[in-house]
Amino acid sequence: MKNIIIGTAGHIDHGKTTLIKALTGRETDTLEEEKNRGISINLGFTFFDLPSGKRAGIVDVPGHEKFVKNMLAGVSGIDVVLMVIAADEGIMPQTKEHLEILQLLNVKKGIIVITKTDMVEKEWSEMVEEDIKEELKDTFLQNAPVYRVSSKTKEGVKELIEGIDELTEEIHSKDVHGHFRLPVDRVFSVTGFGTVVTGTIISGNVKEGDIAEIYPSKKMTKIRGIQVHDNSVKVGEAGQRCALNLSNIKKTEVKRGDIISVENLMEPSMMIDCKLYYLKSASRPLENRQRVRLYSGTNEIICRAVILDKEIVNPGEEAYIQFRLEKPITVQRNDRYVIRTYSPMITIGGGSVIEPVATKAKRFNQSYVEDLKLKESGDTSNILEKTIEKLSNTFPNEKDILKALGKNEIELKDKIKELVDENKIISLDGVYFHVNYINEKIDKTSNLLSEFHSKNPLKVGISKEEMRIKVFGKTLKQKTYDEILKVFENKKIIKIHGKYISEYDFLVVYNDNQEKISKYIRDEYKKGRYTPPKYNDLLDNCKDKEEFKRVYESLLERKILYKVNEECVLLSSDYEECKNKVEDFIKKNGSITVAQFRDIMDTSRKYSFAILEYFDGIKFTKRIEDERVLF
């Protein structure tokens, strides 16, 4: 069922609250001060059933200029506005400011309600209606239906209800399939239940028992219960006003302006990039770094407006602005906002969020502004590609990308797949990289290997771990790194040799002296076999000791020599023969002892023990008391 939220707007004492009582039979002023003074201070909430069977939530906002921040908190999620104008006064200052706010927040549908018609002559109300239509030209209300109502006599109330019902058919359904978000507008405690928050769900749905996160504090909570229009329900959906009973959260740990949403979906930020429309009615230009009040959802935050593409912003102009905030905010791309002067508080502009987690930008940085224009354009594929390119060095998964996009993106997987199919993005082990990032790392890897081989011609290559740290840093997971190396090898950039990496076509080539040393070492190990020579003895018998060390290390890296431990090194052919003999013996006899191994290999107990312990270490064999079996 379509969920509709109706909001009121208009000047103080033009009858908004009384009108709602006439429509619903309920009083929305709940504070004693409101009742005593006859004015709305805080937001009021109620609901009523339309003739078609739809249930509409109503948000009653205060009209007094002192409480515009409360009005802003109330209208952030509405579908239809009732612009209430008293017949005895007509359009007044707060009527105009509320209208400007509604336009800045991109409210599309509205009804003009002329109240207190019982207090004026018919001719007078007709004249007021003409004035209103003239005043509302070139606004979203210029073609809005007009109803004349007396909340006191109930004249016109029935027709207004029918008009609301008819208009709600034109309202587009909310994004019920997106990620759940609810801006908090009220917080209170209920004895026996604990903390309760209320607000309008602006996207997605929430279920009883769901785990949710409170932003920007990032405290975790569980949804203990849900109420919609005073009824307990299992699920709340976009477009509904909800009360959520939060588990393990004190009343002091959540406040108006917070967002209840999906775990790890968004990132609080102290800076946001926005498109600003500066109102024609503003009395003076907006200056760079001017202190303003920013309103987004149900939040009010003081900030500095850094103008990115102009010296100043004149009334009626648009600009790209970076708001540097005095406390963190959590928003998503395309969220609407309003700004007011710091003091006195007057509405001067608003627009939409482009980058919800911005980096500090320099003014008149053309490439930065062009990037904002691209994001503003709404070209999802392009924005997604740029986002992944920007994130590649953090090794993002889907959730990281979604968070960075700063908006609900239902078809994210499909759009990423399109980029992968177009060879713009590479997917490895659930991590996504832009092809430019991979090419950059290929260049860096090639340069490092070229330099390494030039300095170390006898070494097989750089260790994989050293290369990982130098090229990608310490945070890249091993599994993802191995996948990247496979890509590099498939592209014939590198060759993997166990723990080492070389250029794809690199070969160790010995000069005559090195070849002579290599032959000497191999011959000595061939003679010794399973009673191998000691390293220091070989070194002492060689004149060029530095060259000996280089050649010896090279033979180990190339697996021509196999190091069991510091005192036991075998030719690789002898090592493989030894391994095969152990396997054959165990398969035939069920197990092998150190003594049996010593006899088979014609070696000492010392080397027998060393080799078998090595086999245990590589999980080729397993020790059970004094015997070994195959692992």
Q: What tokens were used for 333? A: 């791309």
Phi, psi of 359 (to 5 degrees): -105, 155
Residue 175: the pLDDT is: 67
Distance CA(107)–CA(309), nearest Å, equals 27
Give the number of other CB atoms < 10 A from CB of residue 112.
20
In the block, residue with structure tokens 């390293």? 535
Report the alpha-carbon distance of residue 177 to residue 193 in Å, rounded. 29
Q: From the centroid of its chain, how far is CA 134?
A: 45
Taking each helix axis as running N to C, give the angle between helix 366-377 and helix 380-391, from 0 to 180 degrees, rounded to the nearest 10.
130
Which residues 6+ apart lie within 8 Å of 140 measured at CB?
102, 103, 107, 108, 109, 110
Rg of the chain over Cα atoms, rounded to whole angstroms, equals 37
Identical fold between 4-168 and 513-630:
no
DSSP string, 565-587: ETTEEEEHHHHHHHHHHHHHHHH
Distances (CA, A) of 404 to 16, 87, 475, 615: 41, 49, 19, 48
Judge if pTM exceeds 0.95. Answer: no
pLDDT at position 174 is 67
- Percent of the chain scored above 90 by pLDDT? 54
Q: What are the residues facing 261 on neighbouring strands? A: 181, 213
**What residues contact residue 536 under an 8 Å CB cut-off, 6+ apart?**
none
CA distance 582 to 622: 12
Which H or E run includes 244? Answer: strand 241-247
Torsion of CA 172, 413, 217, 305, to 10 degrees: -70
Q: What is the DSSP string of 504-562?
A: TT------HHHHHHHHHHHHHHHHHTTSPPPHHHHHHT-S-HHHHHHHHHHHHHTTSEE
Side-chain half-sphere exposure of 599, counting CA atoms within 13 A: 5
- Concatenating the DSSP letter of every residue in 307-370 gives ESS-SEE-TT-EEEEEEEEEEEE---TT-EEEEEESSS--EEEEEEEEESSPPP--TT-HHHHH
Query: Using one digit for the tens of pLDDT, what is the confidence trace for 561-575?
Result: 999 998 899 999 999
DSSP character string of 274-309 = EEEEE-TT-SSPEETTEEEEEEETTEEEEEEEEESS
pLDDT at position 33 is 37
At 470, list the tokens: 């130098």
How far is the C-alpha of 461 from the C-alpha of 496, rounded, in Å?
A: 9
Is 378 in a helix, a strand, or coil?
coil
Residue 170: per-residue pLDDT? 82
Q: What is the predicted pLDDT for the residue at 186?
A: 87
Instruction: Please state which CATH number belongs to domain 4-168.
Output: 3.40.50.300
Asked if 120 and 204 touch (Cβ cutoff 8 Å), the reply is no
The one-letter amino acid at 19: L
Q: How do residues 102-156 score in pLDDT, each as one tens digit?
A: 888 888 889 999 999 888 888 898 898 899 988 898 899 999 999 999 888 888 8
User: So what's the pLDDT on residue 32?
Assistant: 43
CATH superfamily of 181-261: Translation factors (2.40.30.10)
pLDDT in tens, 13-61: 787 888 888 888 766 544 343 333 333 333 567 778 888 888 788 877 6
Cα dihedral: 372, 376, 381, 383 (round 10): 30
**Which CATH number applies to 513-630?**
1.10.10.10
Neighbours of 606 (CB within 10 A): 12
Domain limits, the chain: 4-168, 181-261, 272-281+300-372, 379-509, 513-630
Q: What pLDDT score does 38 carry? A: 36
CA distance 619 to 157: 84
Return all residues near 75 (Cβ < 8 A) that are at least 6 apart.
7, 9, 59, 61, 81, 101, 102, 105, 107
10 Å CB burial of residue 410 (0-12, 13-18, 19+) is: exposed
Q: Is 54 helix (H, G, I), strand (E, B) or coil?
A: coil
Residue 72: per-residue pLDDT: 61
Whether residue 105 contacts residue 140, with contact meaning beta carbons closer than 8 Å, is answered with no
The confidence score (pLDDT) of residue 75 equals 62
Nearest CA among 239, 96, 242 for reference residue 168: 239
pLDDT along the chain (631 residues), means of 10: 78 81 68 36 68 81 50 66 89 86 87 90 88 90 91 88 88 74 89 89 90 94 90 88 91 93 90 96 95 91 96 96 96 90 91 92 93 82 87 90 71 84 92 95 96 92 94 92 94 92 92 92 92 92 89 90 91 93 94 93 92 93 92 88
Q: According to the model, what pLDDT value does residue 333 have?
A: 86
pLDDT tens column, 285-307: 999 999 999 999 888 999 999 99
pLDDT score at 293:
95
State how far the Cα of 351 lies from the Cα of 95, in Å rounded to an integer. Answer: 20
Q: Which fold has domain 379-509?
A: Arc Repressor Mutant, subunit A (1.10.10)
pLDDT at 70: 57
The tens digit of pLDDT for each residue in 249-261 reads 999 999 988 999 9
Residue with tokens 């200029």: 65
CA distance 609 to 567: 12
How far apart are alpha carbons 170 and 4 in whole angstroms?
Answer: 11
What does the alpha-carbon distance between residue 523 and residue 530 come to, in Å, rounded to a whole number?
Answer: 13
